Structure 1
Amino acid sequence: MIMRMPRSLALSSWCLRVLVVHVFAAVAAGQSFRFVHTSDTHVNPHRTENSNADRNARLFREISALGPKPALAINTGDVVEVGSPIEYGILREKLAAMAVAYYHTPGNHDVRWNPLGKEGFVKGVGQPLYQHIEHDGVHFFLLDSTVLLEHWGHISQQQLDWLEGELKKIGTEAPVILAFHHWVGREKVQIDNERELIELVDPYNVVLWLQGHGHSDLLWQINGVPAIMQKGLYQGSYSVIDIEKDKLTITRRSLRDPKKGDELVRDKSIPATEEVVWTKVGEFPLKRVRGEPFARGNRESESGLAAQWRTPLNAAVQSRLVRTGDAVYVTTMAGELVCLEPSNGSIRWRHKTGDSIFSAACIGDGVAYIGSADHNVYAVSCADGSELWRFKTGGAVLAGAAVAKGTVCIGSADTSIYGLDARTGSMKWKVQGGNLFQSQAATDGERFFVGGWDNYFRCIDAESGA
């Protein structure tokens, strides 16, 4: 197998979002191959016998010994339990038992409680957030359905744009397999923009959807295309998919469980028996057979209310809007601070950072202060969007700032609270915490008030940091 990566990309950087991997098998094009779908490995901090990591390792060895040997395996998220470096370290130890190329998508457990957010996943597994893998003419698209600090799912506009571009390159005939963590196309919506994703891929030859999150062994259809979900690998389940010239065959490995049914049970427990059951899930064509078009809800509001204006930002907004003076300020998950005209929504200016902006801007004396997941705090001129200064912290800056007595107070995922000179950006003081900071700081003009994930609420003097 050969992996090709542009020189400008580095796996250690959170900025690495996309990797196109060409996997060349030792068989002629058009011949059969197989791959494995696993999900929800949930590696926790325990190394004891029968821990999740131990159970996963047994199945890593089993998957590696399958005959014929799989060309690759795909894990659809919740790779670890809370995203800690210890858990990722244990995962890497156990992966020594895996002799098959193994690709991961992030799940909510990987990023939701991780002090480094999505950066922690990239560093932990050594892979990007989303990627394109091609094997013997079949194209696998692994997507990131996670949302920072949230349980629910969303496919970012950047990903949708990237996916559309990649699909156009391969055309409408090549078989496509989509894999990500949160399910789509069934009850209990998990991805808020599932409709946009499904409509985007509808013109292409999508032959299989791989999902996780629900801890159930299920098969359903999306626009006539099979979709499968697995229980957690530690629960004894994975699927073997055999690709032949004109069809794919899905066979599921599971443990006999009297509670098992065809419903979405979301049961994370380990089955009481170790009796292995192999079940043929079905045979499906490698040329898509179109079914009923997907229809769930409407994009437009059904309330009858009409917006006075709408401005496309081409990215999700996870923060609140700020109206001050004669301008509206909004931050986006594409890493932009955007200044809008309140009367008609026209964009006055945009300021681009290196990664997502989770919190709202703090406006004071004609300056907008923002933090970015690129580890930096920025001061931006409200007049024209020009950068006045930036200060680099040791982690993603998900929190919002407050300003008092010429000091900008803001917390970072590096577990520190910073007091920065509002005019120059130089550090005046630093307060050490015990976990990441997500919330916006507050002030009474003399002191700052900051809550953190270490379960402490702090009151800090604006001038001294005491």
Structure 2
Amino acid sequence: MIRIVNILAILFVVGWAVAAEDPVEPFWFVHITDSHIGVSGADEKLTATLKDILKHFPETELVINTGDLTDMGTEDQMTTYVQLVRSWPFPVYNASGNHDVRWSPWGKEKFKELVGPTYYTFRHKGVQFFFLDTSVLAEHHGHFSKEQLQWLDAELSRLSPETPVVICFHHPPLLPASTTDNSDEFAKIIERYNVPLVLVGHGHNLYRYSFNGTTYMMGGSTAYSVVFGSPCYEAFYVNRDGFLPYSRLAQRDKTSSSSLVPRVKPRDPYGELIVEEVKSLGSNSLVANCRITSIGKARLNKGSYEVDRAFRGVTEFRKGGRLSIPLPVSNPGRHSLTVTFVDDRKSTYSRTALFDIEPKRSKASVEPSILRTFDMPSTIQSSPVVDKNYMYVGCNDGTLRAFDLLTSELVWEAKLGAEILSTPAIAGDKLIVGSNDFCVYCFDKYTGLQLWKYRTGAAVLSTPCVDDDKVYVGSGDGVLYAFDVAKGKLLWTFKAEKMIKCKPAVSRGRVFFGAWDNWFYCVDTRTGQPVWKVPVSTTPQFSAATANPATTGTRVIFTSHDYCVRCLDQKTGAHLWMFKPPSGETGPSYSSFVFRGINAYSSSIAGTIVGFNMLTGERILNLPVRPGKPDELFDSAPVLDGKYLYVGSTGGNVYCVDLDAGQVVWSYSLQPGFIFATPAIWGDHLLVASMSGTVYELSRPEVAHAPLLQTRYEPSGVGSKQSSPNRR
């Protein structure tokens, strides 16, 4: 709600204790979504929708918008949205969507400032409403953060068992090939409570589905709906029986009702999905023998399954809820299995379990294993950095942590003011990192002592680039900053037109970077004056703004969001060559390049490792990491060690590629959780951070045993804290 939420939600977010059930009183509310203010005509269409609500549902007491309020998350767009919905007689409550934060120069801070909290709860006439934030900074994907799920569980536990709960957020969970990586964690929580209705957006379509007694309803966009045109929305009449939905297609002047959602969610009679064994059938063929516990006298026949959020099939139940599922995966690691079934009451249920496939132990097999895990209290998008025997990692709880890898000890931690997507940069005995609290920080890398800090005009998602005694870093305010490393003295600034997210590249007295303004820049490192700039693509949404540029000393290479690869003369900015993928094929977009000889290698959201000859632009490699079912490679840029390349995927896998052989040596599954971070090498070990909030330490059996440094810096008078690593 714009007029009231900013006051009430701030109070409700700290907790709501309910001693007894409040009776449900009849009322109307409306669900809209995906208003995309900023798209041509979107504000007029939202206004038309609100007028249509007043005309056809005049008793509406509140309106819910489940995200993508804006198209690009700019201050102008959010201000327009707030002003537009403020003038109506009903309050509007809002969830954030991926478009509200993906390109936002302020991260989630501007949403909180102008719209309200990103997650909160309130009660209206006996119904408890919850709003969650599934948006992921700088991504279109969805994720339920640990902090939110813990808060949700605690708040639900305070309610009377009979209190009906409506939960609202953006990304639809539990659907096949969902863009949310941990929907099952959300589903397991709400199974225990009376949550009859969940409202979502994102799909730009009116769609209803049900799992475990809860009805999920996707709203159609007020800006542009996929099927029905726009505007379209859902209205609900609430009484003591439940929620009666009405779908409204305003352009067609058509209203239709659907079946009642009961006020009390039907009891879920089934137990857990248990994977009892993973059995080998020979020649890399595996089967998972499973069962659903506590089925009672229910008759379960056919079902469907999904492995690792990617591979789907149908299955049949045997007596006692048992089933055997042929596994389409054989790589070692932790995998996920979701089984969906309809019982004899025609109710749909879904259960998810994790299971392990052990690495093969033979001379002929080269497979890694997990040596240790470091569990954080929050999601991780920043890449871990290794310096000697220390690992540094930033988390979305705003905390930067330093671990001694020889002892597993947490040496120090520093609490910053907001999420850390910026990857720490090492400069001698100093560590420099940006934060979404608008600041650039410099710490003593051994003690965690803050040496200097500088506040910019917006969120700092950019990774700093250290060159000699200077450090260069971009900010959401569109400014590239140059600092003296020692004292943090600001040397100069250069203003681009929009946010700078990428890590700049420095070579021969020049710094290179792209911004979300569709320009690629070259700036003099001494003066901060522009040397040249070149346009990138046809629109700012296709900017070269996410992937980090790389330079050979004479040529600079980068990718843009139109899937093109460009190589420029770094002295003049002249295009030397450009690779554009064939029609219907996606290419590199988010990931950065690494060099080996005259070749540059990157990864693609098509799920391939690509290589280019830097002299000719010829594509020399286009290797699918998972043939038959592409595994998208987004922000996790590859890291090289000799001929071996390592990269993480949104499918939760880590891949090792032999560039000489042009083949995948091994892959390892780390379900659940997207991998947006670049892996880090520590001797013959690999450190991989996941959105699950865990840093995994994997062995690298393909390399000769690289010695781990045994020397440790022990600053006097500095104590160490114990971490909670899990050893495998």
Amino acid at match of 2:50: F
TM-score, length-scaled by structure 1:
0.85
Q: Which residue of 2 aligns with 1:441?
A: 504
Which whole-Å CA distance do the structure 2 matches of 1:228 and 1:281 have between them?
A: 11
Change (3 A) 1:172 1:407: farther
**What is the DSSP-based 3-state SS (H/G/I as helix, E as strand, rest coil) of the residue aligned with 1:186?**
coil
Greater displacement, 79-88 / 128-137:
79-88
Q: Which residue of 2 aligns with 1:401?
A: 464
Match of 2:185 among 196, 210, 229: 196
- Given that 1:18 and 1:129 are in contact with CA atoms closer than 8 Å, whether structure 2 keeps it comes out as no
Which whole-Å CA distance do the structure 2 matches of 1:295 and 1:184 have between them?
A: 11
**TM-fit CA distance, 1:192:** 0.7
**TM-fit CA distance, 1:218:** 0.9
Q: Which residue of 2 aligns with 1:277?
A: 254
**What is the DSSP-based 3-state SS (H/G/I as helix, E as strand, rest coil) of the residue aligned with 1:71?**
strand
Which whole-Å CA distance do the structure 2 matches of 1:17 and 1:456 have between them?
A: 44
Change (3 A) 1:194 1:439: same
Match of 1:237 among 218, 232, 242: 232
Q: Which residue of 2 aligns with 1:452?
A: 515
**TM-fit CA distance, 1:224:** 1.8
Residue correspondence of structure 1 range 159-238 to structure 2 within 5 A: 159-234=148-223, 235-238=230-233
**What is the DSSP-based 3-state SS (H/G/I as helix, E as strand, rest coil) of the residue aligned with 2:110?**
helix
Establish whether residue 149 from structure 1 lines up as the match of residue 138 from structure 2: yes
Which whole-Å CA distance do the structure 1 matches of 2:528 and 2:351 have between them?
A: 52
Q: Which residue of 1 aligns with 2:495?
A: 432
Greater displacement, 195-204 / 287-296:
287-296
Which whole-Å CA distance do the structure 1 matches of 2:142 and 2:57 have between them?
A: 36
**TM-fit CA distance, 1:317:** 0.9
- Given that 1:439 and 1:452 are in contact with CA atoms closer than 8 Å, whether structure 2 keeps it comes out as yes
Which whole-Å CA distance do the structure 1 matches of 2:212 and 2:231 have between them?
A: 29
Q: Which residue of 1 aligns with 2:126?
A: 137
**What is the DSSP-based 3-state SS (H/G/I as helix, E as strand, rest coil) of the residue aligned with 2:265?**
coil
Match of 1:72 among 62, 65, 85: 62
Establish whether residue 287 from structure 1 lines up as the match of residue 276 from structure 2: no
Amino acid at match of 1:354: G
Which whole-Å CA distance do the structure 2 matches of 1:392 and 1:350 have between them?
A: 20
**What is the DSSP-based 3-state SS (H/G/I as helix, E as strand, rest coil) of the residue aligned with 2:432?**
strand
**What is the DSSP-based 3-state SS (H/G/I as helix, E as strand, rest coil) of the residue aligned with 2:184?**
helix
Which whole-Å CA distance do the structure 2 matches of 1:432 and 1:33 have between them?
A: 52
**TM-fit CA distance, 1:87:** 2.7
**TM-fit CA distance, 1:326:** 1.0
Q: Which has the higher contact order (CA 8 A, sep 6+)?
A: 1
Deviation string, structure 1 residues 75-101 (Cα, Å, up to 9, x no partner): 011112222333334324432552211
**TM-fit CA distance, 1:59:** 1.9
Match of 2:424 among 349, 358, 361: 361
Q: Which residue of 2 aligns with 1:268?
A: none
Q: Which residue of 2 aligns with 1:36?
A: 30
Which whole-Å CA distance do the structure 2 matches of 1:425 and 1:90 have between them?
A: 38
- Given that 1:416 and 1:432 are in contact with CA atoms closer than 8 Å, whether structure 2 keeps it comes out as yes
Deviation string, structure 1 residues 186-225 (Cα, Å, up to 9, x no partner): 1221211111111122211111010111111111012121
Which whole-Å CA distance do the structure 1 matches of 2:385 and 2:107 have between them?
A: 25
Change (3 A) 1:151 1:303: farther
Which whole-Å CA distance do the structure 2 matches of 1:83 and 1:18 have between them?
A: 25
Which whole-Å CA distance do the structure 1 matches of 2:177 and 2:160 have between them?
A: 32
Long gaps (5+) in structure 1 = 10-15, 23-27, 256-273
Deviation string, structure 1 residues 310-359 (Cα, Å, up to 9, x no partner): 11101111122211111111111111111123246442222110101112
Amino acid at match of 2:185: E
Which whole-Å CA distance do the structure 2 matches of 1:458 and 1:346 have between them?
A: 42
Which whole-Å CA distance do the structure 2 matches of 1:363 and 1:59 have between them?
A: 52
Which whole-Å CA distance do the structure 2 matches of 1:3 and 1:92 have between them?
A: 12
Which whole-Å CA distance do the structure 2 matches of 1:430 and 1:153 have between them?
A: 35
**What is the DSSP-based 3-state SS (H/G/I as helix, E as strand, rest coil) of the residue aligned with 1:282?**
coil
**What is the DSSP-based 3-state SS (H/G/I as helix, E as strand, rest coil) of the residue aligned with 2:103?**
coil
Change (3 A) 1:420 1:160: same
**TM-fit CA distance, 1:246:** 3.3
TM-score, length-scaled by structure 2:
0.55
Which structure's CA Rg is the greater one?
2
**TM-fit CA distance, 1:407:** 1.7
Q: Which residue of 2 aligns with 1:422?
A: 485
Change (3 A) 1:43 1:245: same
**TM-fit CA distance, 1:55:** 2.1
**TM-fit CA distance, 1:173:** 3.5
Change (3 A) 1:44 1:196: same
Establish whether residue 254 from structure 1 lines up as the match of residue 284 from structure 2: no
- Given that 1:20 and 1:133 are in contact with CA atoms closer than 8 Å, whether structure 2 keeps it comes out as no
Which whole-Å CA distance do the structure 1 matches of 2:132 and 2:148 have between them?
A: 8
- Structure with the larger strand share: 2
**TM-fit CA distance, 1:136:** 1.9
Q: CA RMSD in A?
A: 2.7
Residue correspondence of structure 1 range 7-26 to structure 2 within 5 A: 19=13
- Given that 2:5 and 2:116 are in contact with CA atoms closer than 8 Å, whether structure 1 keeps it comes out as no
**What is the DSSP-based 3-state SS (H/G/I as helix, E as strand, rest coil) of the residue aligned with 1:181?**
coil
Change (3 A) 1:143 1:303: farther
Amino acid at match of 2:140: H
Greater displacement, 370-379 / 130-139:
130-139
Amino acid at match of 1:38: I
Which whole-Å CA distance do the structure 2 matches of 1:75 and 1:58 have between them?
A: 15
Which whole-Å CA distance do the structure 1 matches of 2:108 and 2:64 have between them?
A: 19
Q: Which residue of 1 aligns with 2:97?
A: 107
The percent identity for this pair of structures is 29
Long gaps (5+) in structure 2 = 17-21, 224-229, 273-348, 360-367, 530-728
Amino acid at match of 1:464: T
**What is the DSSP-based 3-state SS (H/G/I as helix, E as strand, rest coil) of the residue aligned with 1:390?**
strand
Which whole-Å CA distance do the structure 1 matches of 2:231 and 2:127 have between them?
A: 27
Q: Which residue of 2 aligns with 1:392?
A: 455
Which whole-Å CA distance do the structure 2 matches of 1:445 and 1:164 have between them?
A: 55
Which whole-Å CA distance do the structure 2 matches of 1:4 and 1:85 have between them?
A: 19
Establish whether residue 82 from structure 1 lines up as the match of residue 72 from structure 2: yes
Change (3 A) 1:136 1:302: farther
Greater displacement, 306-315 / 204-213:
306-315
